[in-house]
Structure 1
């Protein structure tokens, strides 16, 4: 028979660790299908291990609760982010077992919202002398906690935001509520269901309202599938997606100025971009940082002779516009190359002239910069394997030769709904599609490219915005506003896709206008409804 001490540590460490594994199982993996209920059950395991009653808080310190969160994060990290050690080995040449040791350190940063919630909850309980009769009702308490958890999840900065409600994407295109409430609604529902499971198993209290609302939300989504476009297509473009499958060694060699590497990269892009097509191509797309030489958008905008000959020759051969990732020179100059370049996207017209650019705003910590503010410029003198890009300021509204407006997000910017929402709302017009330029070659044959694609789809659903996802080594495809996807250019395959892109005049979705606050209003309305029900027919708890 286990001693109480052993049972305590089982609850503190083993249960949340298994919960982390289950949570990760809801997202794409290369070796098993995704498990829809993984995030719900996994979160229930973690919540079960935390101190929620006054008696538990007397028996367990806050450090025990934080240890449970770390145990959850370790399980989540090992299964969900096993590609981080692979990347450290590929990108940083860090060998085994040091790469896995450093990968496990990520566990301390993977779920900051859960750490903050645990600290907040302890502080709330400490200053709360006695719970009100309203909060003492199980359903009310679970709704309040679900609201708080959803707010922490949405507003706490995260490196790779795979939220608890993202598992609902598996139902697409049957997600009619996604453009209205966005992913926060589904996070709120999943947190609520997880809390209801803990109430039943740990405290023997029922929360039938949680399961009723879950079923109603599920039914509404299933019976109201989303359409590919909001309205009848108003614009048609014949597009070419060029996935060159350029390996990291060749890519870095070309960027470092090796002539043979330049020639090989240039030749590959020219041959793929100018292949014969069944129909005239309107737009050609290349991936993130495709053009290896430093460009200068300021010079190109004033004099056409600064437009690269490769780009001019491709446009002359095809008569198409070209949209590519590359490096844009900034006005800064220093010996450390600190913020002297931007990771950028460039748009060239079918006349060979430079039209516009977008400079990446949200940079990848420890890859494109460091999160240490003013100390970064001093650290740049000693840390050589980080790019230290300058950061752009605003999203650019591009326009095709046919007058169709569109926008771009580079790499993992597409993962952050609040970031995309903020910048879309600051534009002077409404784009008809979004271009996501990406290079996932560093992650090898792992789940990262599949997870990146999976989470990107949420932006198409939330904003009813088709996404052209253009990558170097895969996965390349077009995602439509209902979550449908065109044929994929699979990983590590050199391929050209010629597709017809249909887009329509787009109107701001409710989620774009109001963000998470529609979900909070819905949750508060539920609280009021439960309070009214309790007044006339008290619930047993």
Structure 2
């Protein structure tokens, strides 16, 4: 029995070897790895599923294998997070990772299976089918519900390849579509070489396209090299551990320790960087409410007394409590971003986080089915804000618009487009990545957040609890980055353009989906007409 099982496994593994290879190529080409296989990572999968009219079942399982492997490589930190954040035993945490890998990126097998079906239904050629799969993949990855909304476009920023500069036109999802279509193009050239040796024209054209995107991106950047305003900001990274964060959230004694740590580090940084205009604390750095009507609370008074003599503005992640809702209800508390002076006075109304993290900050479907909150009372259920909003900071005789993002919101391109449309001069992202340890997630999260600066052409300040904190200018120039899991403070000069123009991406969004859809219909129609003309 065991011998038969081993033989079956070997047979299936051999049958899915090209899908397995694609999973490895994609997984090892994403951040933090260099994008060494970026232009051919999906080719083994696509070529294997379009050969000899293989069954749709095989196409699906081939795509599933690819997405499982790349998910296990790229998102291995899910297990660590389940253990650290969810307090699950390691065996359960590993099972959570396996479930994530099994279901989270099903748009990959969906695109492959749909492409294989189109091949049979409309008599598409093998090359037409591969391009159809690439187009379907590009379209589906934009609408598929995922927790960590990644795509291959981010690898360009992570590797500092200037092609990422085109994101202000088509977004990083658009860059991902270009990469997928290059994969299809190279696959077509490969198949053409097997049938004919006269494909050098195709190679030349593809080379010109790639040079245009890379070299053209370098020159495209130059229009954003001009700035007319600047200010100095200092980021405070206090490196608060998870146990202290949990104790503070539950009101079990760590609030004073955390408050004093942030205030003492801020005063030390003020002595070191006296010309700083704005200090920035990360997500939920202040472990209590900062609302104006609640300034008499113990920890708020500690903050005010500790910052005496520092006449500077502070942007701090903290909690806000609704004055309307019952304070004993979970929904009455918000994850918020405050802009205050050193006496705790609000310089503008706080921003309340809108895009909440499933299971970490809200229970999915609980808004329609409140009974779920009674069944699962241990799941946090924060109040939800009303959307992107810029905070106004009066500095140097002018109003500077600071577009706040709290953690997860930095991954939402649509959210940052909204901040740009609110005339934000600078984007500010506050984050707590302490739940991910020393995995690849902090680096992935950093680059995916910094991408919003390129799409909107607004500088972005990223302040984190444990790293990685940094600043990126609107032209894509990345400044110094903080170390991971260390106490640190750093001063940055934030250069920006007042009333910066709205980018095509902010104005139109992912308008290129129309082009992708038209191209897909064109391929299907062409294949169908050609098949019809071949009938006797």
Shared fold (TM-score, shorter chain, > 0.5): yes
In 2, Cα distance between equivalents of 1:109 and 1:211: 39
In 2, Cα distance between equivalents of 1:313 and 1:434: 29
Question: Which of 53, 56, 69 lines up with 1:55 in the alignment?
Answer: 53
Question: Which of 480, 488, 492 lines up with 1:495 in the alignment?
Answer: 488
- Which residue of 2 is the match for residue 405 of structure 1? 401
In 2, Cα distance between equivalents of 1:251 and 1:187: 37
Shift of 1:379: 2.3
SS of equivalent to 1:239: strand
SS of equivalent to 2:71: helix
Query: Under a length normalisation based on structure 1, what TM-score does the superposition of the two structures give?
Result: 0.83
- Which residue of 2 is the match for residue 448 of structure 1? 441
In 2, Cα distance between equivalents of 1:199 and 1:452: 34
Shift of 1:201: 5.2
Residues 327 and 218 of structure 1: is their aligned pair in 2 closer, same or farther, counting only changes over 3 Å? farther
Matching of residues 185-334 of structure 1 within 5 Å: 185-199=174-188, 204=194, 209=202, 212-213=205-206, 215-225=208-218, 227=221, 230=224, 232-259=226-253, 261-275=254-268, 276-296=271-291, 299=293, 308-313=300-305, 316-330=308-322, 331-333=324-326
Q: Is the 8 A contact 1:24 1:39 kept in 2?
A: no
Q: Is the 8 A contact 1:48 1:198 kept in 2?
A: yes
Q: Is the 8 A contact 1:113 1:152 kept in 2?
A: yes
Shift of 1:21: 2.3
Q: Is the 8 A contact 2:352 2:385 kept in 1?
A: yes
Gapped regions of structure 1 (runs ≥ 5): 532-541
Relative to structure 2, which stretch is displaced further, 356-365 or 4-13?
4-13
Q: Is the 8 A contact 1:44 1:195 kept in 2?
A: yes
| Residues 46-85 of structure 1: CA deviation (Å, up to 9, x unaligned) | 32343x46832xxx243x3332232112211221111111
In 1, Cα distance between equivalents of 2:307 and 2:483: 26
Aligned-residue RMSD, C-alpha: 3.4
Residues 375 and 523 of structure 1: is their aligned pair in 2 closer, same or farther, counting only changes over 3 Å? closer
SS of equivalent to 1:269: helix
Q: Is the 8 A contact 1:293 1:327 kept in 2?
A: yes
Gapped regions of structure 2 (runs ≥ 5): 1-6, 526-536
Q: Is the 8 A contact 1:239 1:500 kept in 2?
A: yes
Residues 26 and 376 of structure 1: is their aligned pair in 2 closer, same or farther, counting only changes over 3 Å? farther
Question: Which of 90, 93, 102 lines up with 1:99 in the alignment?
Answer: 93
SS of equivalent to 1:491: coil
SS of equivalent to 2:375: coil
The alignment status of 1:415 with 2:411, answered yes or no, reads: yes
In 2, Cα distance between equivalents of 1:224 and 1:125: 36
In 1, Cα distance between equivalents of 2:195 and 2:379: 52
Matching of residues 473-484 of structure 1 within 5 Å: 473-484=466-477
Q: Is the 8 A contact 2:304 2:342 kept in 1?
A: no
- Which residue of 2 is the match for residue 156 of structure 1? 144
- Which residue of 2 is the match for residue 538 of structure 1? none
The alignment status of 1:464 with 2:462, answered yes or no, reads: no
- Which residue of 2 is the match for residue 43 of structure 1? 42
The alignment status of 1:27 with 2:20, answered yes or no, reads: no
SS of equivalent to 1:404: strand
In 1, Cα distance between equivalents of 2:205 and 2:520: 12
Shift of 1:432: 1.5
Q: Is the 8 A contact 2:77 2:441 kept in 1?
A: yes
Q: Is the 8 A contact 2:165 2:476 kept in 1?
A: no
In 2, Cα distance between equivalents of 1:332 and 1:210: 64
SS of equivalent to 1:38: coil
Shift of 1:233: 2.4
Shift of 1:522: 8.5
Relative to structure 2, which stretch is displaced further, 399-408 or 197-206?
197-206
Residues 358 and 190 of structure 1: is their aligned pair in 2 closer, same or farther, counting only changes over 3 Å? same
In 2, Cα distance between equivalents of 1:46 and 1:522: 21
Shift of 1:309: 2.5
Relative to structure 2, which stretch is displaced further, 500-509 or 324-333?
324-333
Q: Is the 8 A contact 1:193 1:210 kept in 2?
A: no
SS of equivalent to 2:17: helix
In 1, Cα distance between equivalents of 2:390 and 2:250: 32
The alignment status of 1:179 with 2:175, answered yes or no, reads: no
In 2, Cα distance between equivalents of 1:377 and 1:369: 12
Q: Is the 8 A contact 2:224 2:475 kept in 1?
A: no
The alignment status of 1:114 with 2:102, answered yes or no, reads: no
In 2, Cα distance between equivalents of 1:279 and 1:79: 44
Count of equivalent residues: 504
SS of equivalent to 1:75: helix
Q: Is the 8 A contact 1:21 1:76 kept in 2?
A: yes
Relative to structure 2, which stretch is displaced further, 104-113 or 502-511?
104-113
Q: Is the 8 A contact 1:229 1:464 kept in 2?
A: no
In 1, Cα distance between equivalents of 2:163 and 2:182: 20
The alignment status of 1:340 with 2:332, answered yes or no, reads: yes
